[in-house]
Amino acid sequence: MVSKRIQKALLGNSAIRAMFVEGKAMAEKYGAENVYDFSLGNPATPAPAALNDSIRDLLDEADKKGAAGSLELHGYMENAGYKDVRETIAANLNKRFGTAFDDHNIVMTVGAAGGLNIIFKTVLDPGDEVIVFAPFFGEYRQYAANFDSEIVTVNPDLKTFLPDLNDFEAKITEKTKALIVNTPNNPTGVIYKPETMEAIASILEKKQKEFGHDIYLVSDEPYRELVYDGNKEDFLTKYYKNTIVGYSFSKSLSLPGERIGYVVVPNEASDAEELIRGIEISNRTLGFVNAPSLIQKAVARCLDEKTDVSFYDENRTMLYDGLTELGFTCIKPEGAFYLWVKSPVDNEEEFVEEGKKLHLLMVKGSAFGCGGFVRLAYCVSHETVKNSLPAFEKLAQVYGLK
Amino acid sequence: MVSKRIQKALLGNSAIRAMFVEGKAMAEKYGAENVYDFSLGNPATPAPAALNDSIRDLLDEADKKGAAGSLELHGYMENAGYKDVRETIAANLNKRFGTAFDDHNIVMTVGAAGGLNIIFKTVLDPGDEVIVFAPFFGEYRQYAANFDSEIVTVNPDLKTFLPDLNDFEAKITEKTKALIVNTPNNPTGVIYKPETMEAIASILEKKQKEFGHDIYLVSDEPYRELVYDGNKEDFLTKYYKNTIVGYSFSKSLSLPGERIGYVVVPNEASDAEELIRGIEISNRTLGFVNAPSLIQKAVARCLDEKTDVSFYDENRTMLYDGLTELGFTCIKPEGAFYLWVKSPVDNEEEFVEEGKKLHLLMVKGSAFGCGGFVRLAYCVSHETVKNSLPAFEKLAQVYGLK
């Protein structure tokens, strides 16, 4: 007899994960080369060679030290993570973004998903509201629900897919405790430029004063390094004091299975010391305890490494140009590895089903709180993109697009 | 402004972790060799050499396969973990314990702490009660509270430190959804023999019928392999159908920092398929997503490996004999790496403070829901145990024990 929460979850499980499983089944049936699976945000470029080499070095160095080396490499450390790892990450952020962090501002986490959950556990009381900008990564809803909080959705500008800031201002209430910002964005690929961030910050400042309590900007940053067309990597703590960052190495180093990331709490956040200690405690009491040890030390040696962004850029151009040419309306991605495509019919689930008939796997926009669109994850091989275009052409014909 | 839950947690943080930090500070001040830190259950024996070798092999095999190898080794897999890893673990359990699991009975987890949390998320509704046998690992209280449930404590028999089964039966109510069993036990080192497990199972069966709903036995098994004096490793699913196992490799392979373990749901549990799917969903939605990928594959190659149990056994004998000789009353540990010692004064916090003056770090029993006792974690070097005995002698003199 499972809990009521899980009974409900069993009925409406992740659309993305369901598609992932369906895609595997189709690949077995028709051959992987005949299925164009754009469903899952699973990196398609290998980790930089430096990652495996760093792991090897760490093992060799530990073995040389004998028992002490093994205990240090695979043993418990502070719940916040190894001090030297946190120092290295702080110094790297300071070098790249002109910040002034030290090790105590950093808590190593089990990926960004683990990071967001321990942030939420630390700041949310039951009944609090978390604002998200639609379309958004659907798991945010679960993460807020884990702490008896609800998400409140802000509408997008349907031309730019930036948030409608009037709607944002109107949706902030006495109960608002946090806003999640995800730039470069999943699922649209849109980047929030400095003017957007400044406008968001100014609304938050005003509302903090109006309601007399803190509202945290929680920055979910797995795609920070995946930017195109000369766009710059950005770090959001400079726009707004009450910013808490949740970062993941999953995409930048192509190791999503390893579950490694970190949280940054800047000193200028209100009650920064309590926040940091609360996040450390939450890391322990939610059952993460600490980020995996060996991989903590390995990523600390690869902070200036990056997976091959040009690989995704090539897919981006091929898919965006190809689909636009076929008559589809697409938002041009500036970062991440997703293409956000308008469904030719209002009910995009119908469009998704038509796509499946042609072995095209897309995820419905309603999974991101924004119906009428679909998401294509172009973290696939160049061949998959190239070979999918004739199928998309047939799909365009079904809807008389050209 | 942190949440009310965290405000409370900040006031009463983990006694064990606080002692860990205090121990480090004392070691810096007085020299590590002059501090006898028995506070933390951090393994003292290195991981078997096969572990690092398996990691090296996995890296070499992946590098040979190029990009696909890296994506397979460090990428996403099903939320339950790699299928081949789960198959290997199922086969290994079947070989050792005569069970009949396959891959679908196993969900790989971020340690046992992650495992217990996803089990609880799957079975607990707000207001449910979870029974624990005192003394118990204090974090169980937090894990239940994460899902708005409370623990209900059953008294021990103060001679054997087995649970008082009359008290157990009396404490089961309409609200009871689960019982946690932890054998070999932290903090007492006691093992629940078959007759105890059969008696517990029989009470659970009776109460399930009486209340007309499932009561799960959640077996927390990080110490399964750490048994002494010819005691046998046991696997609890054979005693009671509604048993869910949470295992960790932290102690058996000495890699607590890596956060790797698994959950087992046997087919004979009620609604087994829903339980398994619920646990997979909880793994994702609580933010674990999946157990760390590389280390999943590494432990699957080390299932017949074990850290050096004789090392702990030597400490156990030296500390138990030494303290008993000095007039302390100790429970003789049959497993795990803890010694449970009666405080010579009712208020064991006073005893802990006296110990600190002699650089002896012990954890108060009230941290385990059982005042009047202290826990000594003897996962330390032989030298630490040996050199601590003169300090314990002084401590015995303070209380006129001999």
Question: Is residue A80 within 8 Å of A108, Cβ to Cβ?
Answer: yes
Q: Nearest to residue B391, comparing CAs of B356, B340, B343, B344? A: B356
Q: What is the mean pLDDT of residues A75-81?
A: 94
Instruction: Please give the biggest Cα pair distance in chain B.
Output: 69
Burial A111-144 (b: 16+ CB within 10 A, else e): bbbbbbbbbbbbbbbeebbbbbbbbbbbbbbbbb
Helix H, strand E, coil C: the string for chain A is CCCHHHHHHHHCCCHHHHHHHHHHHHHHHHCHHHCEECCCCCCCCCCCHHHHHHHHHHHHHHHHHCHHHHHHHHCCCCCCCCHHHHHHHHHHHHHHHCCCCCHHHEEEECHHHHHHHHHHHHHCCCCCEEEEECCCCCHHHHHHHCCCCEEEEECECCCCCCECHHHHHHHCCCCEEEEEECCCCCCCCCCCCHHHHHHHHHHHHHHHHHHCCCCEEEEECCCCCCECCCCCCCCHHHCCCCEEEEEECCCCCCCHHHCCEEEECCCCCCCHHHHHHHHHHHHHHCCCCCCCHHHHHHHHCCCCCCCCHHHHHHHHHHHHHHHHHCCCCEECCCECCEEEEECCCCCHHHHHHHHHHCCEECEEHHHHCCCCEEEEECCCCHHHHHHHHHHHHHHHHHCCCC
Q: How far apart are the C-alpha atoms of B331 and B341, rounded to whole Å?
A: 7
Q: How many CB pairs under 8 A join A and B?
A: 260
Of B6, B254, B289, the CB nearest to A122: B6
**Cis upstream peptide for B46 (omega within 30°):** no
| C-alpha separations of B365 from A124, B319, B357 in Å | 32, 18, 19
- Using the 3D structure, point to which of B250, B269, B300 is the last residue of a domain: B300
B-chain residues near A274 (CB < 8 A): 2, 6-7, 10
Res B359: pLDDT: 96
Closest approach of B114 to chain A, Cα-based (Å):
4
- pLDDT tens, residue by residue, B80-136: 999 999 999 999 999 999 999 999 999 999 999 999 999 999 999 999 999 999 999
Amino acid letter for position A219: S
A-chain residues near B115 (CB < 8 A): 287
Q: Nearest to residue A294, comparing CAs of A98, A124, A69? A: A69
Closest approach of A97 to chain B, Cα-based (Å):
26
DSSP E strand boundaries for B98-256: 106-109, 129-133, 150-154, 176-181, 216-220, 243-248
* B230 and B99 within one domain: yes
Q: Nearest to residue A17, comparing CAs of B79, B20, B270? A: B79
Q: How many distinct structural domains can be found in chain B?
A: 2
* B346 and B235 within one domain: no
Closest approach of B40 to chain A, Cα-based (Å):
10
Residue B392 clears pLDDT 80, i.e. is over it: yes
Q: How far apart are the C-alpha atoms of A108 and A84, rounded to whole Å?
A: 11
Of B1, B67, B277, the CB nearest to A213: B1
A-chain residues near B83 (CB < 8 A): none
Closest approach of B256 to chain A, Cα-based (Å):
5
Mutate to test the interface with A, among B1, B4, B45, B116 (most CBs of A within 10 A): B1
Mean pLDDT (chain A) is 96
Q: What is the CATH number of the domain that holds B218?
A: 3.40.640.10
Closest approach of B155 to chain A, Cα-based (Å):
24
Res B8: pLDDT: 86
Residue A201 clears pLDDT 80, i.e. is over it: yes
Q: Any idea what DSSP says for residue B199?
A: H
* B86 and B208 within one domain: yes
Mean pLDDT (chain B) is 96
* B71 and B85 within one domain: yes
- The enclosing H or E element of B375 equals strand B373-377
Res B22: pLDDT: 83
Question: Is residue A263 within 8 Å of A119, Cβ to Cβ?
Answer: yes
- pLDDT tens, residue by residue, A161-177: 999 999 999 999 999 99
Locate the chain B residue with the closest alpha carbon to A69: B46
* A343 and A289 within one domain: no
Residue B1 clears pLDDT 90, i.e. is over it: no
* A320 and A251 within one domain: no
Closest approach of B52 to chain A, Cα-based (Å):
6
B-chain residues near A74 (CB < 8 A): 47, 51, 254-258
Confidence grade of residue A97 (pLDDT, cut at 50, 70, 90): very high
- Mapping DSSP to helix (H, G, I), strand (E, B) and coil, where does residue B177 land? strand
Q: What is the CATH number of the domain that holds B392?
A: 3.90.1150.10
Amino acid letter for position B137: F
B-chain residues near A214 (CB < 8 A): 1
- pLDDT tens, residue by residue, A228-258: 999 999 999 999 999 999 999 999 999 999 9
Q: How far apart are the C-alpha atoms of A100 and A97, rounded to whole Å?
A: 9
Residue A13 clears pLDDT 70, i.e. is over it: no
Q: Nearest to residue A50, comparing CAs of A220, A348, A305, A284? A: A305
Closest approach of A12 to chain B, Cα-based (Å):
11
- pLDDT tens, residue by residue, A284-335: 999 999 999 999 999 999 999 999 999 999 999 999 999 999 999 999 999 9
Amino acid letter for position A274: E
Total residues belonging to chain B: 402
Res B230: pLDDT: 95
**CB count in 10 Å sphere of residue A108:** 29
DSSP E strand boundaries for B123-221: 129-133, 150-154, 176-181, 216-220
What is the CA A355 to chain-centroid distance, rounded?
A: 25
Res B18: pLDDT: 76
Res B369: pLDDT: 96
Confidence grade of residue A16 (pLDDT, cut at 50, 70, 90): confident
Partner-chain contact B271 A2, CB within 8 Å: yes
Mutate to test the interface with A, among B28, B119, B285 (most CBs of A within 10 A): B285
Res B13: pLDDT: 61
Q: Nearest to residue A291, comparing CAs of B43, B292, B320? A: B292
Partner-chain contact A44 B71, CB within 8 Å: yes
Residue A8 clears pLDDT 90, i.e. is over it: no
* B245 and B372 within one domain: no
B-chain residues near A290 (CB < 8 A): 257, 259
- Mapping DSSP to helix (H, G, I), strand (E, B) and coil, where does residue B257 land? helix
* A55 and A197 within one domain: yes
- The tokens describing A91, both together, are 């110094």
Confidence grade of residue B14 (pLDDT, cut at 50, 70, 90): low
Mutate to test the interface with A, among B2, B11, B265 (most CBs of A within 10 A): B2
* A214 and A339 within one domain: no
**CB count in 10 Å sphere of residue A29:** 10
How do strand B176-181 and strand B216-220 relate by DSSP bridges? parallel
**Cis upstream peptide for B333 (omega within 30°):** no
| C-alpha separations of B78 from A256, B5, B86, B284 in Å | 12, 33, 11, 10
- pLDDT tens, residue by residue, A103-150: 999 999 999 999 999 999 999 999 999 999 999 999 999 999 999 999
A-chain residues near B73 (CB < 8 A): 257
Partner-chain contact B55 A52, CB within 8 Å: no
* A223 and A80 within one domain: yes
Q: What is the mean pLDDT of residues B18-34?
A: 87
Residue B246 clears pLDDT 70, i.e. is over it: yes
Locate the chain B residue with the closest alpha carbon to A67: B46
Contact partners, residue A353, CB within 8 Å, separation at least 6: none
Closest approach of A388 to chain B, Cα-based (Å):
21
Total residues belonging to chain A: 402
In percent, the amount of chain B with pLDDT more than 70 equals: 99
B-chain residues near A113 (CB < 8 A): 284, 287-289
- Using the 3D structure, point to which of B282, B300, B318 is the last residue of a domain: B300
- The tokens describing B126, both together, are 């707000």
Q: Which of A29-38, B18-27, B144-153 has the lowest mean pLDDT?
A: B18-27
Q: Which of A5-9, A15-19, A393-397 has the lowest mean pLDDT?
A: A15-19
Res A298: pLDDT: 98
Partner-chain contact A1 B76, CB within 8 Å: no
Residue B11 clears pLDDT 90, i.e. is over it: no
Domain of residue A83 covers 51-300
Helix H, strand E, coil C: the string for B308-364 is CHHHHHHHHHHHHHHHHHCCCCEECCCECCEEEEECCCCCHHHHHHHHHHCCEECEE
Locate the chain A residue with the closest alpha carbon to B289: A113
- Using the 3D structure, point to which of B269, B300, B331 is the last residue of a domain: B300
Name the burial class of residue B159, with classes exposed (0-12), middle (13-18) and buried (19+) by CB atoms within 10 angstroms of its CB: exposed
Q: Give me the phi and psi of B211, to 5 degrees please.
A: -95, -10
Q: How far apart are the C-alpha atoms of A273 and B376, rounded to whole Å?
A: 31
Q: What is the mean pLDDT of residues B263-273?
A: 97
Res B29: pLDDT: 92
- pLDDT tens, residue by residue, B273-331: 999 999 999 999 999 999 999 999 999 999 999 999 999 999 999 999 999 999 999 99
Q: How far apart are the C-alpha atoms of A402 and B128, rounded to whole Å?
A: 59
Closest approach of B345 to chain A, Cα-based (Å):
31
- Mapping DSSP to helix (H, G, I), strand (E, B) and coil, where does residue B67 land? helix
- The tokens describing B146, both together, are 């994460």
- pLDDT tens, residue by residue, A206-225: 999 999 999 999 999 999 99
Locate the chain A residue with the closest alpha carbon to B52: A59
A-chain residues near B28 (CB < 8 A): none
* B190 and B68 within one domain: yes
- Mapping DSSP to helix (H, G, I), strand (E, B) and coil, where does residue B240 land? coil
Q: How far apart are the C-alpha atoms of B87 and B76, rounded to whole Å?
A: 18
Residue A402 clears pLDDT 80, i.e. is over it: no
- Mapping DSSP to helix (H, G, I), strand (E, B) and coil, where does residue B75 land? coil
What is the CA B192 to chain-centroid distance, rounded?
A: 14
* B241 and B110 within one domain: yes
How do strand A216-220 and strand A243-248 relate by DSSP bridges? parallel
Of A1, A5, A52, the CB nearest to B214: A1
C-alpha neighbours within 13 Å on the C-beta side of residue B314: 13
Q: Any idea what DSSP says for residue B156?
A: B
Partner-chain contact A17 B146, CB within 8 Å: no
Confidence grade of residue B20 (pLDDT, cut at 50, 70, 90): confident
What is the CA B208 to chain-centroid distance, rounded?
A: 26
